[in-house]
Amino acid sequence: MSVSAEAVNKKITLPSKIAAKRHETKERLNKKINSLFIFSCLEEKERALLIDILEERRLRPGEFLFRLGDPAEHMYFVESGLLDSYSKSGDTIEPIFIRSFTVGESFGELALLYNRIRLTSVASKNDSVVW
């Protein structure tokens, strides 16, 4: 199995900010990262850095995480709550429900891998926390 994408000549700068986390939170995030194919090639030191720079984002009901057409800058892990994904088809005015994301799920990595804009909008259905 392989993944390929168009080469991007962007200089990547890692955030200098380390988001403080409890040991239990780091363990939970490490378990999630270890379960995802996209991170399978990371060494332990790289995983630790990734966990350190992950930031918690709290969402209120109805708040959008991102919208259709936004540039892909992040992927997300759902810590708590429920988020719904919507898209549009053809000339429809009303968004079409695609699916829900629940605790333990992740999303957004494909747009990053393929250097694409967001093909859906994702909004929180209730109070939610994502990393």
Examine residue 3 and state whether it is found in any structural domain, yes or no.
Answer: no
| Range of the structural domain that residue 28 is part of | 18-54
Examine residue 121 and state whether it is found in any structural domain, yes or no.
Answer: yes
Q: Are strands 57-59 and 121-124 parallel, antiparallel or unpaired?
A: unpaired
Residue 5, pLDDT score = 55
Looking at the fold, whether 45 and 60 belong to one and the same domain comes out as no
Examine residue 30 and state whether it is found in any structural domain, yes or no.
Answer: yes
Residue 38, pLDDT score = 84
Nearest partner of 120 among 107, 129, 130, 104, judged by Cα: 107
Residue 112, pLDDT score = 86
Dig out the tokens for 44 from the structure: 């332990």
Query: CA of 65: how far to CAs of 20, 38, 62, in Å?
Result: 22, 21, 9
Asked if 69 and 61 count as a contact pair (C-beta separation under 8 A), the reply is no
From the first residue on, what is the mean pLDDT of each consecutive set of 10 residues in the chain (131 residues)? Answer: 56 67 91 87 91 94 96 94 93 90 93 91 98 94
Examine residue 72 and state whether it is found in any structural domain, yes or no.
Answer: yes
Examine residue 104 and state whether it is found in any structural domain, yes or no.
Answer: yes
Residue that is last in its domain, among 54, 82, 101: 54
CATH label of the domain that carries residue 126: 2.60.120.10
Residue that is last in its domain, among 10, 28, 54: 54
**Domains: count for the chain:** 2
Looking at the fold, whether 124 and 73 belong to one and the same domain comes out as yes
Q: How far apart are CA 119 and CA 112, in angstroms?
A: 12
Q: Quick check: pTM over 0.85?
A: no
Residue 94, pLDDT score = 87
Looking at the fold, whether 22 and 36 belong to one and the same domain comes out as yes
Q: Are strands 128-130 and 57-59 parallel, antiparallel or unpaired?
A: antiparallel
Asked if 109 and 1 count as a contact pair (C-beta separation under 8 A), the reply is no
Q: How far apart are CA 10 and CA 3, in angstroms?
A: 19
